[in-house]
C-alpha cells in the first residue's frame, strides 16, 4: 500500500515531523443522483449489513426498497455463521502503514469508542502491540516486509495521536525483544514493536448481532435467507436485472450490490482482482488463574510471522495467523458473470471458501495447526500451555486483493451491478462506517483518497498479482488446501 512519505524518510523520521494524514480532500462534484427503485444486496456481512443501514438512513433512498439476501442456512440468522464477519474477536486498530486507511480506521475507531456499538463489552480498548522481526525492509520482489509495515504504521499512529490531541506517549516504541516481553508480560515474540494505547478489539459476533438489530429497527430492509446461484442479466441492454436463487426463484432489482465476501468471485469474475484465501484460527481453554494473568495484555500482532493473540475472555484464548493463506481451487458448476466474449468468462477453477457449514467436522490442515502451536509457544511460552490441545480450530476466509485495497465500484461492463468486497483480512473494524463509504461511492462521491484504491482494476498477470503483498502477511504464499489436508493423511 502506498505511503505519504518514502520509506527511507519514515524510518529516520523524528517523532515531531509526522506525515499529515488528517487533511481530507474535498470532493466538489455535485452531480444529481437518481436512486434506483429496488436494491438487492447479496451478503449480510460487514460490507452488506453496513451498506443496508446507510441506505436506509439516506433521504435519497427513502423511496427505494432494500432487500438483503444471505446464504445463511438458519432462518433469521444474518450473516451466516461461517461469514468472515462472525468470530469471537476482531482487532480494532488505526495502525496502518497506509495513511489513508489509518485515517479511515481512526474515524471508525471513534465510533467504537464513543457510541453504542462499542458498549456492553462489544469493544475493549486493551491497547495493541504491532511488532515484527528484524530484517530487510523489502522482499526480493520489492514488496514491503513486516518490519517496514510496522515502522510506517508507528509514524502514522503518532501522527493520529497528535491530530486527535492524545499525548505522543500513548504510542510507545518498544525496540528489542526483551523490552517487548517485559512490557507485555508474555514471551519474546518479536524484535521491534510499539504499543498503541488507543487500539483494541471487538467481539465480532456480538457487534454484528447488535448491528443487525439496528438494521431491523429501521423497518426499511427485508432480510431473505437464500443462496444466489447466478446473476440475472439483460444482455441486449448490458444490465444486471436481479439474482436467481438455488431454489429456482428470482429476485429482481434495479441495482444489485454484491457483498458476498470470499464467495464473490464465484458470482462475478474477479479472477484478476480478488481471491478467497483460508486462514487458520485456534482457541485454547484457560484456567481461571491463567485468564487473570492474561486478561490485561494488549492485542499482540507480529507482522513477520502473522501470529496474533487477543486477550482472553471467558477463559478462552484465541491465537491466529494473518497469512497468505490456503487456496481452494474448484471448478464451479457455471462460470461467474464476466464480460461477454472475454476469455475470463469461461468455466475455470476458482478458489472457494470451504467452511464448517460445508462440513461440520472440518478441522485445519496439520501445517496450520503446527504453525499456530509454534506461534503460541513464542507468544506465551508457559510450560502448561505447550501441549494443551486447541479446544476448537477454524478455517476463516479472506477476500484478498493484491494490494489489500477493497473493491468498491460499479462493474465496468454490466449496468446495475455494484461490487463491495475485497476485505483482505482487515475490513471488520470499519463496520460502523464502511456502509457510508459504499453508499457515497454508489452515489458517485467516492472519497478522493480512495478513488484509485477501491476502483475496479484489470490485472494482466493473475498468478503474480493475487498474493497480498502489503507487508502484513506471514506464512507461505500459494499453499493449496487440499494438498495440505492430503499431506496429513500421508503422514499419519
Ligand X SMILES: Cc1cc2nc3c(=O)[nH]c(=O)nc-3n(C[C@H](O)[C@H](O)[C@H](O)COP(=O)(O)OP(=O)(O)OC[C@H]3O[C@@H](n4cnc5c(N)ncnc54)[C@H](O)[C@@H]3O)c2cc1C
**Which residues lie near ligand X (CB under 6 A)?**
42-48, 69-72, 79-80, 83-85, 90-91, 227-228, 259-263, 267, 279, 281, 320, 396-399, 421, 423, 425-429
CB of 487 to ligand X, least distance (A): 22
Cis peptide before 79 (omega within 30 of 0): yes
Q: What's the grid cell of residue 404? A: 489489500
Tell me the HSE value of 136 on the side-chain side, using a 13 A CA sphere.
7
Q: Nearer Cβ to ligand X, position 80 or 469?
A: 80
Task: Please say which residue, 13 or 263, places its beta carbon nearer to ligand X.
Answer: 263
* Overall size of the chain counted in residues: 492
Tell me whether residue 13 or residue 350 sits nearer to ligand X (CB atom): 350
| Residue 429 Cβ vs ligand X, minimum distance, rounded to whole Å | 4
Nearer to ligand X, 13 or 242 (CB): 242
Compute the least distance from the CB of residue 420 to ligand X, in Å. 8
* Whole-number Å distance between alpha carbons of 402 and 461: 11
3-state secondary structure 191-208: CEEEEECCCEEECHHHHH
Is the distance from CB of 148 to CB of 97 less than 8 angstroms? yes
Q: Which of residues 200 and 447 has its CB atom nearest to ligand X in the complex?
A: 200
Q: Are 453 and 446 in contact (CB under 8 A)?
A: no
Min CB(268)–ligand X separation in Å: 11
| CA 74/CA 71 separation, integer angstroms | 9
**CB closer to ligand X out of 18 and 48:** 48
Tell the smallest beta-carbon distance from residue 126 to ligand X (Å): 13
Residue 399 Cβ vs ligand X, minimum distance, rounded to whole Å? 6
Compute the distance between CA of residue 92 and CA of residue 299 in angstroms, rounded to an integer. 9
Residue 256 Cβ, how far from ligand X at the closest point, in Å?
11
Q: Which is nearer to ligand X, 46 or 376 (CB)?
A: 46
Nearest residue (CB) to ligand X, 267 versus 385 = 267
Nearer to ligand X, 47 or 418 (CB): 47
User: Least distance in Å: CB of 28 to ligand X?
Assistant: 31
Residues 6 or more apart whose Cβ sits within 8 Å of residue 169: none
Phi/psi of residue 236, nearest 5 degrees: -60, -40
**If DSSP codes are grouped into helix, strand and coil, which group holds residue 175?**
strand
Using the minimum distance from each CB to ligand X, give the nearer residue, 73 or 136. 73
Strands 255-258 and 38-42, by their bridges, are parallel
Report the SS3 class of residue 389.
Answer: coil
Rounded to a whole number of angstroms, the minimum distance from the CB of residue 403 to ligand X is 14
Ordered DSSP codes for 290-347? HHHHHTTSPEEEETTT-EEEEEEETTEEEEEE-BS-EE-EE--SSPPB--TTSGGGS-
* Nearest to 40, CA basis, from 250, 271, 215, 216: 250
* CB-based contacts of 68, cutoff 8 Å, min separation 6: 40, 41, 43, 44, 48, 49, 52, 78, 215, 221, 222, 223, 224
**Residues 68/221, Cβ–Cβ less than 8 Å:** yes
C-beta nearest to ligand X: residue: 45
Minimum gap (Å) between residue 347 Cβ and ligand X: 17
Amino acid at each position: 500500500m502506498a505511503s505519504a512519505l518514502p520509506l527511507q524518510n519514515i524510518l529516520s523520521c523524528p517523532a515531531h515531523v509526522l506525515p499529515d494524514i488528517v487533511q481530507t480532500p474535498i470532493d466538489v462534484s455535485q452531480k444529481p443522483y437518481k436512486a434506483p427503485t429496488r436494491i438487492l444486496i447479496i451478503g449480510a456481512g460487514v460490507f452488506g449489513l453496513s451498506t443496508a443501514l446507510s441506505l436506509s438512513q439516506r433521504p435519497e433512498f427513502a423511496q427505494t426498497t432494500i432487500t438483503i439476501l444471505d446464504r445463511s442456512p438458519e432462518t433469521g440468522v444474518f450473516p451466516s455463521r461461517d461469514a468472515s464477519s462472525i468470530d469471537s474477536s476482531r482487532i480494532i486498530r488505526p495502525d496502518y502503514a497506509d495513511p489513508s486507511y489509518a485515517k479511515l480506521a481512526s474515524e471508525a475507531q471513534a465510533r467504537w469508542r464513543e457510541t453504542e456499538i462499542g458498549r456492553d463489552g462489544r469493544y475493549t480498548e486493551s491497547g495493541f502491540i504491532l511488532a515484527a522481526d528484524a530484517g530487510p525492509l523489502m522482499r526480493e520482489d520489492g514488496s514491503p516486509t513486516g518490519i517496514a509495515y510496522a515502522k510506517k504504521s508507528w509514524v502514522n499512529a503518532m501522527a493520529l495521536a497528535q491530530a486527535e490531541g492524545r499525548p505522543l506517549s500513548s504510542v510507545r516504541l518498544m525496540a528489542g525483544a526483551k523490552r517487548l516481553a517485559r512490557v507485555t508480560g508474555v514471551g519474546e515474540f518479536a524484535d521491534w514493536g510499539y504499543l498503541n494505547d488507543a487500539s483494541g478489539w471487538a467481539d465480532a459476533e456480538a457487534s454484528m448481532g447488535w448491528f443487525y438489530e439496528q438494521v431491523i429497527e429501521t423497518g426499511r430492509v427485508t432480510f431473505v435467507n437464500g443462496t444466489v446461484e447466478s446473476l440475472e442479466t439483460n444482455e441486449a441492454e448490458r444490465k444486471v436485472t436481479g439474482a436467481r436463487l438455488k431454489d429456482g426463484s428470482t429476485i429482481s432489482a434495479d441495482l444489485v450490490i454484491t457483498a458476498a465476501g470470499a464467495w464473490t468471485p464465484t458470482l462475478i469474475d474477479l479472477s484478476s482482482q480478488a481471491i478467497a484465501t483460508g486462514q487458520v484460527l485456534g482457541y485454547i481453554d484457560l484456567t481461571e488463574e491463567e485468564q487473570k494473568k492474561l486478561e490485561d495484555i494488549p492485542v499482540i500482532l507480529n507482522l513477520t510471522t502473522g501470529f496474533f493473540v487477543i486477550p482472553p475472555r471467558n477463559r478462552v484464548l484465541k491465537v491466529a495467523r494473518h497469512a497468505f493463506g490456503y487456496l481452494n481451487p474448484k471448478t464451479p458448476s457455471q462460470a461467474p458473470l464476466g464480460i461477454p466474449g472475454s476469455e475470463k468468462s469461461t468455466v475455470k477453477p476458482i478458489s472457494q471458501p470451504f467452511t464448517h457449514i460445508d462440513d461440520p467436522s472440518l478441522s485445519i490442515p496439520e501445517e496450520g495447526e503446527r504453525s499456530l502451536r509454534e506461534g503460541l509457544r513464542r507468544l506465551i511460552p508457559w510450560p502448561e500451555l505447550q501441549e494443551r490441545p486447541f479446544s476448537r480450530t477454524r478455517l476463516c476466509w479472506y477476500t484478498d486483493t493484491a494490494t489489500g485495497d477493497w473493491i468498491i465500484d460499479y462493474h465496468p461492463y454490466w449496468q446495475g451491478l455494484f461490487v463491495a468486497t475485497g476485505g483482505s483480512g482487515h475490513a471488520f473494524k470499519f463496520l460502523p462506517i464502511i456502509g457510508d463509504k459504499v453508499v457515497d461511492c454508489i452515489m458517485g462521491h467516492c472519497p478522493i483518497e480512495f478513488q484509485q484504491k477501491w476502483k475496479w482494476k484489470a490485472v494482466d498477470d493473475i498468478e503474480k498479482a493475487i498474493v497480498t503483498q502489503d507487508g502484513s502477511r506471514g506464512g507461505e504464499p500459494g499453499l493449496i488446501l487440499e494438498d495440505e489436508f492430503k499431506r496429513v493423511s500421508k503422514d499419519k
